[in-house]
Amino acid sequence: MFIIVLNQTNLVQDGQNNKLIYKFPNSVVLTDKYIAVSKISMYYSWLNISAQLGNNTFSYQYTSASSVSTVVIPDGIYTTAQINAYLQFTFIQNGHYWTANSGTTYYYPIEIVVNPTRYAIQINTFLLPTASPWNGIVITAPPAGFAPSSQNSIITLPSAFSTLLGYRAGFVSNNNPLNAYTPSSSPSASNNFEAKNIVGPTGTLSYLSNTSPNITPTSTILFSLSNINNPYSQPSSIIYSLSSSVLAGQQIVDSPPNFMWNKLISGTYNELRLSILGTNSAPIQINDPDMTILLTIRDKDEHYNK
């Protein structure tokens, strides 16, 4: 039995950090050999929102007279709260907000929050102020001016981004003209749960995701090794999976309590290739190349209690 160590020096230099090649010092004949992952140390650095994933944009319309504003989220690892914070940043950049208490309290037309009780992502849109006071609050006129008429801002979620939040593809909120919109009374597969005035001031529209949110689409990564042929697996080369059990940017250290042995295809080897895949079995970009992966190889009849 012997150990193979793969680390940053074994990475294929293509900027993806998801392929490692171990070259044997000399060609070796491996017959009736089994291989298993014995330890992994790497950082949780794969993104859940990026241009590469195609899930980094959505849009909103502040008033019916406004042009549509596109929100482009920088590549990163985001929670729902951080998505909402970036949306608020965009509102400020575009002047789509209003203030109270001498400008110390900010109000935004749309918010995206977690509803843990319903295991859902909730979107709230608020009635825009047409004058001051508004809902009993003395406000400062927003940079874009007061809304020309009573209405809510509209948010539109394209397919890839809506999947993160658990909404149907192409979801569009209602602009609630003159606060007269009546939400749908019963949800279906084609719409989202809707309610009116359940949070916030008069004119608030609230929506709940109608499928499970998938804010972390790659919570588990898969390890695929060349020269493995498991007829019961698809792909047939998967030898291990690793879950991101730490916060973004923290180190994952994993040592399986029991090795999962996989039979190597018998033959002469010059190298082994290890690939890191997402849960959809497609290669996933790892941003931090600092990693160490230990593989253990043993003979068919070698006794090993682990």
- In this predicted structure, the answer to whether residue 134 has a pLDDT above a threshold of 90 is no
Q: Is residue 161 classed exposed, middle or buried when 0-12, 13-18 and 19+ CB atoms within 10 A define those classes? A: buried
Please give the pLDDT value at position 185.
60
Largest CA-CA distance found in the chain, in angstroms, rounded: 82
Q: What percent of the chain has pLDDT over 90?
A: 71
Residue 212 confidence (pLDDT) above 70 = yes
Token readout for 272 is: 């082994």
Q: What is the pLDDT of residues 163-175, one digit of tens each?
A: 999 999 999 999 9
Among 68-77, 177-186, 261-270, which stretch is predicted with the lowest mean pLDDT?
177-186
Query: What is the model's pLDDT at position 304?
Result: 56
Distance CA 206, CA 112 (A): 10
Q: What is the rounded distance in angstroms from the CA atom of residue 52 to the CA atom of residue 158? A: 15
- What would the two tokens of residue 244 be? 């991101």
Identify the band that residue 50 occupies on the pLDDT scale cut at 50, 70 and 90.
Answer: very high
Cβ contact 42:50 at 8 Å: no
**CA distances for 168 relative to 97, 134, 165, 208, 281, angstroms:** 27, 33, 9, 11, 24
Split at pLDDT 50, 70, 90, the class of 305 is: low
Which range among 77-91, 112-126, 195-209, 251-265 shows the weakest confidence by mean pLDDT?
195-209
Q: Is it the case that residue 58 has pLDDT exceeding 90?
A: yes
Q: What is the 3-state secondary structure (H, E, C) of 120-183?
A: EEEEEECECCCCCCECCECEECCCCCCCCCCCECEEEECHHHHHHHCCCCCEECCCCHHHCCCC
Return the amino acid letter for 98.
Answer: W
Burial class (CB in 10 A: 0-12, 13-18, 19+), 129: buried
Distance CA 53, CA 48 (A): 8
- Sequence ranges of the domains in the chain: 2-46+218-299, 57-208
Q: Please state which CATH number belongs to domain 2-46+218-299.
A: 2.60.120.1100
| Local confidence band at 36 (pLDDT 50, 70, 90 cut-offs) | very high
Report whether pLDDT(232) > 90.
no
Q: CA-to-CA distance for 136 and 213, rounded, in angstroms? A: 35
Q: What is the mean pLDDT of residues 96-120?
A: 92
| Average pLDDT of the segment spanning 296-306 | 75
Asked if pLDDT for residue 127 goes beyond 70, the answer is: yes
pLDDT at 112 over 70: yes
Residue range 243-292, pLDDT digits in tens: 988 888 999 999 998 899 999 999 999 999 999 999 888 899 999 999 99
pLDDT at 66 over 60: yes
**Residue 78 — very low, low, confident or very high, per pLDDT cuts 50/70/90?**
very high
- The predicted pLDDT at position 76 comes to 95
Position 102 scores a pLDDT of 78
How high does pLDDT run on average in the chain? 91
Q: What is the mean pLDDT of residues 146-160?
A: 94
Alpha helices by DSSP H, the chain:
80-94, 159-165
Q: Give φ, ψ of 277 to 5 degrees.
A: -120, 160
